[in-house]
Amino acid sequence: MAGTTEKDTAVEALNEIGEYFAAGFFEDGVPESAQAMELPPLMRVAKGIRNHLARCPLPPYGGEWFYPFCGDVWSCGEAVWHHYVRFGHSAAAIDEKRKKASTDAQRAALDALGAFWSTFPPAGGYTHSIPHYDRVLAEGLDGFERRIRAGLQRARRLGEDEKVRLYESLLVVIEGVRILHGRFIGQVESAHLSDPEQETRRRRLLSALRRVPFEPATGFHDAMVAVHFIYVLDGNDNLGRFDQFMRPFFEADRKAGRLGRDEALDMIRATWTHMDRSTGWNAAIGGTAAGGEQGASELTILCIEAARGRRRPNLALRLREDTPQEIWDAALDCIATGAGLPALYGEQNYFRALREAHLGIREDDLPWFAFGGCTETMVHGRSNVGSLDAHFNIPVRFVDVLHRELASCGTFDEFLARFKTHLREEVRRFTDDISSWQANKARYFPQLIRTLLIDDCIDQGREYAAGGARYNWSVNNVEGIANIVDSLCALREVVFENREITAAELLAVLRDDFKGREALRKRLEKCPRYGNGDERADSLAREFSEFIFHEFMSRAPWRGGRFLPACLMFVTYADAGKPVGATPDGRRAGTPIADSAGAYQGRDRRGPTALLRSVTSLDLVHAPGTMVVNIRISKKLLSTPDERERLKDLIRTYFRMGGMQIQINVVDQAVLRDAFEHPERHEDLIIRVGGYSEYWSRLSRDLQLSILERTEHG
């Protein structure tokens, strides 16, 4: 074709093979390397987003409340992809596409793609987040565009070139969002449905989509459609304080007779179904409203009812001292279905922890704290939180120090001091790496969807990854605390106090993974154990947690804020144990470590009160990233009003003692044993793991076995 350039040929070839983001990224030419392009590559990313949203495949509409339903617009089999964490590439996928390419132009484009993308620097860490849904509902995206244009005009007048580039890029993103919105409307318009109920939903959806999310929402259905659109645009991540920002629309329509309870419940169920099937994450409900008053309402109850028997969302119920009994009852009814939802949060302790973390959170923003992903703490619509930025595996470091230092230590205190010195340096290296990743993200991986949707990026004229959000911090997994406490207790008693075995002898036993020394392993298991309310163990837990949490909290990430400790192992605790050698608590090499912040699986033998007393011995207030506590109870604790009151009292007391989070599994041991032996009989069995719920059949055999070992309290 006359006038066609090499650049145009590459872009056309990439579009032909479905590499839409990359084709848009290369609209202005293919740089030799990431370092050779203008940094950060704002306009390139904006054009990549626009091209992807204009071309990505869309499913047909099938008569559901929302569109698209149970899917997303970002996962299209691209080798170069855009994701809410960052954009990136798969070298293997590029190679596979090259094998299937049908033209020389396609192969050349893929070669260029692989060569260019391999030059990007590392940028680890994860970044769940929560868009400012309520601002979208109030302003509409038209209002967002007006703010962008005003910022652009101001930046041009002041000669602020970096801000000019950002605002111009955001206008390209808005253009892409408009194109996607129009394509959604086209899909709903073209659907032919014979079912009258589905056709009614189609007409209502079409009417709403012609207004939202670009215009402000005017009713509950409008608002739900707008929220769904923004949720999909953001990549199916988190809904934040759903019942709070939806409550005004819900109550106005209920009062006016425009919305029935069953219809509202049906829409919420559809939203939860979408989150489940698209592997969405968290929604926070209840707790304190923006004005400080009780935030739990009829809508909160509907959110809980809609979650019965479901895997997702990770429903987080914030509880106050004055939370109404009907909220408690709805929560326990849902928990009784066995899915582990909702998880329960002691709100007053989060308020204290976030204030003491000195994160600069305004008092009027504090009620908007919520959770991303499994349950990482952030501020709805206003924050950029690394979650989880990285995993700090204490047991693997402990084993290293143990074999290097123990034999030369004359006292337990000397060994503990050396271990702490080692950890202090490890935390410094660990957090420095995260700061380096954050700097690379700001330079190479701008996140323009989130720059658009999260305060105060537009108003500051600063990109999200570069610190544009109002609040920034980093949540990090601090893993294996229970194993460390139990191991330290065993060392103190068996090696240093009673001198039953020398340090050298113990180390030899550990190197051999207790081979031929089962009696010694059983002896170690009789030492004080964290999770039983034993002050000998709990005092060590208090001392060690105060130390390690302080080391994290005393350091600031590149983007700002603090490094917030957390322990939410979800399904990772089995893999986290694989590189860990045998430990003095009697744990064998390569086996799972503790699943979160509670006792090691099966070691809590003195009932739930003792377990929770041990948890509150931890320095929880200085671990506001969230310390997850899993507890299994028998169904009889939910079988009568009196038993339920006992369970409520246990949870209330735990929160009064400083507990911050607890999640409850109600599954009979016999059912779990049968599921372990016959997984094909239990494909719908859902288990609360360590931060979210998952289908039993999707768990590894190691994880299934560790869940079987958890103590059932009754």
Q: Give 89-144 pLDDT, tens digit per residue.
A: 999 999 999 999 999 999 999 999 999 999 999 899 999 999 999 999 999 999 99
Confidence category of residue 316, pLDDT binned at 50, 70, 90: very high
Do 52 and 64 reside in the same domain of the chain? Answer: yes
**Alpha helix stretches (DSSP H) within 88-195:** 91-100, 104-117, 133-158, 161-189
Does residue 682 register a pLDDT over 60? no
Do 146 and 170 reside in the same domain of the chain? Answer: yes
Read off the pTM: 0.94
Mean pLDDT of 38-64: 97
Do 682 and 713 reside in the same domain of the chain? Answer: yes
132 vs 640, residue with greater confidence: 132
Domain assignment present for 265: no
Check residue 574 and give its pLDDT.
85
Name the one residue in this structure whose structure tokens are 């047991």: 395
Tens of pLDDT, residues 57-102: 999 999 999 999 999 999 999 999 999 998 999 999 999 999 999 9
Mean pLDDT of 551-555: 97
**Dist. CA 225–CA 462, nearest whole Å:** 29
Q: For the chain, how far is it from start to end, CA to CA, in angstroms?
A: 77
Task: Provide the token pair at 56.
Answer: 């990505």
Do 358 and 298 reside in the same domain of the chain? Answer: yes
CB 523 within 8 A of CB 491: no
Confidence category of residue 427, pLDDT binned at 50, 70, 90: very high
Domain assignment present for 361: yes
Q: How does the average pLDDT of the chain come out, rounded?
A: 93
Task: Provide the token pair at 165.
Answer: 């580039």
Task: Identify the domain boundary among 627, 647, 672.
Answer: 627
Does residue 693 register a pLDDT over 70? no
Check residue 54 and give its pLDDT.
98
Pairing verdict, β 343-346 and 661-665: antiparallel
Task: Identify the domain boundary among 605, 627, 649.
Answer: 627
Check residue 81 and give its pLDDT.
94
Mean pLDDT of 584-596: 94
**Alpha helix stretches (DSSP H) within 190-312:** 196-209, 220-233, 242-255, 261-277, 298-305
Check residue 673 and give its pLDDT.
74
Do 552 and 511 reside in the same domain of the chain? Answer: yes
Helix (H) or strand (E) holding 49: helix 42-55
Lowest mean pLDDT among 220-229, 489-498, 600-609, 613-622: 600-609
Pairing verdict, β 626-627 and 563-567: parallel
Domain assignment present for 259: no
Tens of pLDDT, residues 317-342: 999 999 999 999 999 999 998 888 99
Helix (H) or strand (E) holding 41: none
Check residue 679 and give its pLDDT.
74
CB 372 within 8 A of CB 362: no
Check residue 710 and give its pLDDT.
58
Do 359 and 403 reside in the same domain of the chain? Answer: no
Q: How many domains are contained in the chain?
A: 3
Q: Which amino acid is at 681?
A: R
Does residue 245 register a pLDDT over 70? yes
Domain assignment present for 307: yes
Mean pLDDT of 612-619: 97
Do 678 and 540 reside in the same domain of the chain? Answer: no
Check residue 4 and give its pLDDT.
52
Pairing verdict, β 693-695 and 563-567: unpaired
Lowest mean pLDDT among 486-495, 644-653, 677-686: 677-686
The set of residues, in sequence order, having a beta carbon less than 8 Å from that of 648 and lying 6+ positions away, is 328, 332
Tens of pLDDT, residues 454-481: 999 999 999 999 999 999 999 999 999 9
Tell me the residue range of the domain where 203 lies: 1-237
Does residue 692 register a pLDDT over 60? no
Q: How many CB atoms lie within 10 A of CB 278?
A: 18
Task: Identify the domain boundary among 627, 659, 687.
Answer: 627
The set of residues, in sequence order, having a beta carbon less than 8 Å from that of 344 and lying 6+ positions away, is 317, 319, 331, 651, 661, 662, 663, 664
Domain assignment present for 549: yes
- Percent of the chain at pLDDT > 70 equals 94
Check residue 2 and give its pLDDT.
39
Do 647 and 622 reside in the same domain of the chain? Answer: no
Check residue 373 and give its pLDDT.
93
Check residue 666 and give its pLDDT.
81
Do 326 and 441 reside in the same domain of the chain? Answer: no
Does residue 684 register a pLDDT over 60? no
Do 562 and 693 reside in the same domain of the chain? Answer: no
User: How many residues does the structure list for the chain?
Assistant: 714
Confidence category of residue 705, pLDDT binned at 50, 70, 90: confident
Helix (H) or strand (E) holding 423: helix 412-444
Task: Provide the token pair at 214.
Answer: 């670009």
**Dist. CA 706–CA 574, nearest whole Å:** 8
Does residue 270 register a pLDDT over 80? yes
HSE (CB half, 13 Å, CA atoms) of 621?
13
Does residue 23 register a pLDDT over 60? yes
Confidence category of residue 635, pLDDT binned at 50, 70, 90: confident
Do 19 and 125 reside in the same domain of the chain? Answer: yes
CA angle centred on 242, ends 239 and 245, rounded to 5°: 120
Mean pLDDT of 343-354: 98
Domain assignment present for 73: yes
Domain assignment present for 262: no
Rg (CA), the chain: 27
Domain assignment present for 278: no
**581 closest CA partner among 404, 396, 403, 401:** 396
Does residue 3 register a pLDDT over 50? no
**Dist. CA 391–CA 76, nearest whole Å:** 29
3-state secondary structure of 330: helix
Do 297 and 398 reside in the same domain of the chain? Answer: no
